[in-house]
């Protein structure tokens, strides 16, 4: 979509601001499908037509895309060329999904270590670098292209279309943006190009939450697009104050973070609409989104080839089985990732869905941050179900964060909500001590606020020592070139 960039640049260079904003409104009147360019249109049309394909057709499509991606990686990606050669994988052997048995999974450490050797030759033109944040500061630089991002956007629009979203829909956006306009020092702004009301995620104090409610009523968006950790404080605020007169939202569109038990119910109750979650990752290997009929998560077969791999390294094929999402992306051919370990886990759902789509179903998806475990004094690893608030111990807590810096010690920081009592601290302590046994000393402290990461996400567990979690074997031969 070169048009957008050129126009945005022209707009940026123009003064004064009201004129810029006026031009943006004019430009915003042009349909998104035109502004987003041919890759967006092509992908969206393909998704709309292929969503009702039969199982056979989808399998055939996946097979041919998988072969194309792996052959392309063989031809153009230095890391894969070398690794395939060492593993004895010849080009003519790449004929279908069976070849994956010979290709061990890779993870973000491998991608980070390989650096530019992961980038396909000949992708310099239109290349975009993106950096993903990690829970304990490890960062990963990825490379993609504009057209891949536009294709991604088409998947998102297709998914949201299940709950009525169109290119004319207006959104309130609470997604880790830092909005602080230089001119007015405001914590919100309107983007007429994208039809978005952007609300800063770094300013969630009561004064600003009241302002956000006011802005939402004024802008009257059809949807709220959010990180769960940002919409939850707003929902709590609205509920506690008994605020009425909100727009009749069509859905709350969530993504990028885990949704914990209780959060979905709270948001649906307050915003009086469906909470609709999307699962994806910056590495662009797998995407899933909720079904409008059943509430299941459907994996997009057009987006990538996804496997669930259990703790023993075996592929999950039975309904109810749980495994790590390991996927080969079809979208990003600038940095193709084959059998990439996302670190996220899911449960395989039923083979059929009442909506009629033959997309694979995942029952629950838990991001890597949900998988945290605490290391005890003896080195024992104790799983800690993050955000699991079944017993209601965090009901009067605004935010909480665990931090482990050495085995046997765990620190919990709490931001107290209205009505918090000493008895709440006792209940939390009792439950956690019961869970952790005599292995861990728990220290509880209070804070006014817990900061977010650089990209605005909320981290529930911070650790600053080496992760004790076992790493599935990645074939040494395959990685000798690392």
Structure tokens at 165: 């979203």
Helix axes 55-76, 78-87, angle to 10 degrees: 100
Is 348 among the residues that bind Zn ion (CB under 5 A)?
no
Only one of the segments 86-94, 194-202, 228-236, 350-358 lies at the binding site for Zn ion (rule: CB under 5 A); that segment is 350-358
Which 131-160 residues touch Zn ion, going by CB under 5 A? none
Residue pair 256/301 in contact (Cβ under 8 Å)? The answer is: no
Is 53 among the residues that bind Zn ion (CB under 5 A)?
no
Structure tokens at 56: 């056979």
Structure tokens at 7: 């126009």
* Cα–Cα distance measured from residue 320 to residue 421, given in angstroms and rounded to the nearest whole number: 40
Binding mask 284-303 for Zn ion (x = CB under 5 A): -------x--x---------
Residue pair 312/289 in contact (Cβ under 8 Å)? The answer is: no
Residues in CB range of 253: below 8 A, 6 or more apart: 160, 163, 165, 171, 223, 224, 225, 226, 276, 278
Is 355 among the residues that bind Zn ion (CB under 5 A)?
yes
Structure tokens at 173: 């956006």
Q: Are strands 196-199 and 188-191 parallel, antiparallel or unpaired?
A: antiparallel
Is 353 among the residues that bind Zn ion (CB under 5 A)?
yes
Would you say 143 or 353 has its CB closer to Zn ion? 353
Would you say 142 or 287 has its CB closer to Zn ion? 287
Which residue bears the tokens 């640049």? 9
Would you say 362 or 374 has its CB closer to Zn ion? 362
Q: How many chain residues interact with Zn ion (CB under 5 A)?
A: 4
Is 362 among the residues that bind Zn ion (CB under 5 A)?
no
For the bound state, the minimum distance from the C-beta of residue 131 to Zn ion, rounded and expressed in Å, comes to 34
Only one of the segments 232-240, 306-314, 333-341, 349-357 lies at the binding site for Zn ion (rule: CB under 5 A); that segment is 349-357
Give φ, ψ of 275 to 5 degrees. -95, 125
For the bound state, the minimum distance from the C-beta of residue 295 to Zn ion, rounded and expressed in Å, comes to 9
For the bound state, the minimum distance from the C-beta of residue 157 to Zn ion, rounded and expressed in Å, comes to 18
Cross-strand pairs, 254 = 226, 277
Closest Cα to residue 249, out of 161, 159, 170? 170
For the bound state, the minimum distance from the C-beta of residue 292 to Zn ion, rounded and expressed in Å, comes to 7
Structure tokens at 287: 């995407």
Is 161 among the residues that bind Zn ion (CB under 5 A)?
no
Only one of the segments 132-140, 315-323, 353-361, 379-387 lies at the binding site for Zn ion (rule: CB under 5 A); that segment is 353-361
Residue pair 252/275 in contact (Cβ under 8 Å)? The answer is: yes
Would you say 136 or 354 has its CB closer to Zn ion? 354
Would you say 364 or 469 has its CB closer to Zn ion? 364
- How many residues are recorded in the chain? 482
For the bound state, the minimum distance from the C-beta of residue 360 to Zn ion, rounded and expressed in Å, comes to 11
Is 334 among the residues that bind Zn ion (CB under 5 A)?
no
Structure tokens at 221: 């968006």
Would you say 197 or 291 has its CB closer to Zn ion? 291
For the bound state, the minimum distance from the C-beta of residue 186 to Zn ion, rounded and expressed in Å, comes to 41
For the bound state, the minimum distance from the C-beta of residue 165 to Zn ion, rounded and expressed in Å, comes to 17
Supply the DSSP symbol for 380: -
Residues in CB range of 105: below 8 A, 6 or more apart: 309, 326, 339, 340, 341, 472, 474
For the bound state, the minimum distance from the C-beta of residue 363 to Zn ion, rounded and expressed in Å, comes to 12
Would you say 51 or 200 has its CB closer to Zn ion? 51
Would you say 291 or 348 has its CB closer to Zn ion? 291
Which residues of this protein are in contact with Zn ion, per CB under 5 A?
A: 291, 294, 353, 355
């Amino acid at each position: 979509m070169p048009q957008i960039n050129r126009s945005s640049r022209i707009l940026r260079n123009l003064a004064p601001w009201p004129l810029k904003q006026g031009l943006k409104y004019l430009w915003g009147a042009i349909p998104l499908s035109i502004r987003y360019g041919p890759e967006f249109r092509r992908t969206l049309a393909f998704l709309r037509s292929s969503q009702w394909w039969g199982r056979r057709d989808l399998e055939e499509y996946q097979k041919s895309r998988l072969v194309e991606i792996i052959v392309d990686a063989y031809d153009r990606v230095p890391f894969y060329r070398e690794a395939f050669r060492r593993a004895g994988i010849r080009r003519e052997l790449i004929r279908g999904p069976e070849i994956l048995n010979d290709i061990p999974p890779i993870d973000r450490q491998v991608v980070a270590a390989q650096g530019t050797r992961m980038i396909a030759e000949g992708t310099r033109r239109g290349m975009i670098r993106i950096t993903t944040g990690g829970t304990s500061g490890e960062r990963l630089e990825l490379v993609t292209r504009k057209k891949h991002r536009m294709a991604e956007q088409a998947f998102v629009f297709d998914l949201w279309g299940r709950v009525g979203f169109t290119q004319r829909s207006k959104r309130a956006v609470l997604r880790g943006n830092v909005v602080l306009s230089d001119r007015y020092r405001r914590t919100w702004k309107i983007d007429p190009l994208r039809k978005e009301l952007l609300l800063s995620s770094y300013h969630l104090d009561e004064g600003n939450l009241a302002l956000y409610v006011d802005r939402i009523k004024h802008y009257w968006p059809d949807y709220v697009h959010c990180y769960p950790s940002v919409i939850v404080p707003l929902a709590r605020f609205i509920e506690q104050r008994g605020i009425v007169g909100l727009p009749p939202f069509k859905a709350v569109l969530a993504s990028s973070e885990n949704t914990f038990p209780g959060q979905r119910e709270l948001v649906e109750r307050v915003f009086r609409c469906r909470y609709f979650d999307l699962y994806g990752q910056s590495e662009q290997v797998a995407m899933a989104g909720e079904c409008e009929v059943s509430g299941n998560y459907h994996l997009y077969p057009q987006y990538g080839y996804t496997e669930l791999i259990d703790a023993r390294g075996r592929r999950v094929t039975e309904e109810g089985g749980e495994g790590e999402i390991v996927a080969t992306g079809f979208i990003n051919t600038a940095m193709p990732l084959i059998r990439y370990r996302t670190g996220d886990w899911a449960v395989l759902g039923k083979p059929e869905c009442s909506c009629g789509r033959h997309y694979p179903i995942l029952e629950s998806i838990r991001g890597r941050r949900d998988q945290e475990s605490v290391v005890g004094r003896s080195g024992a690893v104790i799983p800690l179900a993050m955000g699991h608030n079944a017993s209601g111990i965090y009901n009067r807590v605004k935010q909480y964060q665990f931090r482990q810096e050495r085995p046997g010690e765990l620190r919990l920081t709490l931001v107290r909500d209205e009505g918090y009592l000493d008895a709440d601290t006792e209940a939390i302590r009792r439950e956690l001590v019961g869970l952790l046994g005599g292995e861990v000393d728990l220290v509880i402290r209070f804070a006014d606020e817990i900061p977010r990461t650089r990209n605005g996400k909320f981290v529930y567990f911070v650790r600053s020592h080496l992760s004790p979690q076992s790493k599935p074997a990645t074939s040494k031969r395959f990685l000798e070139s690392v």
